[in-house]
Amino acid sequence: MLSWISSILNATYPFQLPQLDYDYKDLEPDIDQETMEIHHLKHHQAYINNLNNGLEKNPEFQTKTLGWLVKNYTQLPEPLSIIVKNHGGGHLNHSLFWKMLSPTHDAPSPKLEEHLNKSFGSVENFVELFNKASLSVFGSGWAWLCIDDQQTLSIMATPNQENPLTKNLTPVLGLDVWEHAYYLKYQNQRTAYIDAFWNIINWEKVEELILFHRK
Ligand code: MN
C-alpha cells in the first residue's frame, strides 16, 4: 500500500495530529493562514482528542486501525460507535484533506484527465458535478470523488464527518464544506471557497490513489 495512505488508514490508538507537507501560509490566498492554523491545530486536534478519550475507555478496540474503526463503526458498542462516527471520521477526513492540498498549483496529468474524461465525459463536467455536490451539503459535510471495486469513479456528498468508506467506496479527493473550513475568509460565500479549492489540489495524490486502487 502507498505509504502515506497506509500511515493514515493503518494508524492505531493513541492517534496523533499529522504534520502538514506545507506551511499554514502556503495555501494563501486560496485558504488563509489563520483558517489553516485553527482548522489543523484546534478542530482536527479536537477530533483526535475525543477519539482517543473514547478508546481509552474501550481498551478492547485500541488495536483496531483508523480505517477499520471508521468503516465498521456501526459494530461498536455505544457510545464508542457515535464517537468513532463523528471524531474518528473527523480525524480520517481531515488527514486525507491535508494530503489533497498543495501550494504548487499543478494540473491533472494527461493520464488522470483521461480517467476523468472516461467517467464524467470531460474534466469540466467532473468539476461541475463536484461543485454541485459541494453546494448540496446542508450544514456541515464533505464532497468526495470516490472509486469503487469496479474502478468506477463517482461523486458523492456526506453529512458531518461520515466517510465514503462506510459505503464501500474509497475516497480519492475530498472537500470539507463545513463553515469552519472557510468562514474567516469567505464568510457565507461557499461558492468562492469551492472555486478556490480547484487552485490548490494535489492532483498527484489523487492520481496515486486512483492508480493504486486499480491494481
Ligand atoms: Mn474541517
pLDDT at 2: 84
Distance 133 CA to ligand 1 centre (A): 17
**Residue 61 Cα, ligand 1 centroid: separation in angstroms?**
25
Q: How far is the CA of 93 from the centre of ligand 1 (A)?
A: 8
- Asked whether the beta carbons of 74 and 81 are under 8 A apart, the reply is yes
Question: pTM of the entire structure?
Answer: 0.96
212 alpha carbon – ligand 1 mean position (Å): 26
Distance CA 108, CA 132 (A): 20
3-state secondary structure of 173: strand
Amino acid, res. 185: K
Q: How far apart are the CA of 31 and the centre of ligand 1, in A?
A: 13
Query: Can you list the domains of the chain with their CATH numbers?
Result: 110-213 (3.55.40.20)
Expressed in angstroms and rounded, the spacing between residue 215 Cα and the centre of ligand 1 is 31
Provide the CB-side half-sphere exposure for 174 (13 A, CA).
Answer: 29
Tell me, what DSSP letter sits at residue 73?
A: G
pLDDT in tens, the chain (215 residues): 688 999 999 999 999 999 999 999 999 999 999 999 999 999 999 999 999 999 999 999 999 999 999 999 999 999 999 999 999 999 999 999 999 999 998 899 999 999 999 999 999 999 999 999 999 999 899 999 999 988 899 999 999 999 999 999 999 999 999 999 999 999 999 999 999 999 999 999 999 999 887 65
Show the cell assigned to 39.
Answer: 482548522
DSSP state of 43: I
Provide the residue type at 184 as one letter: L
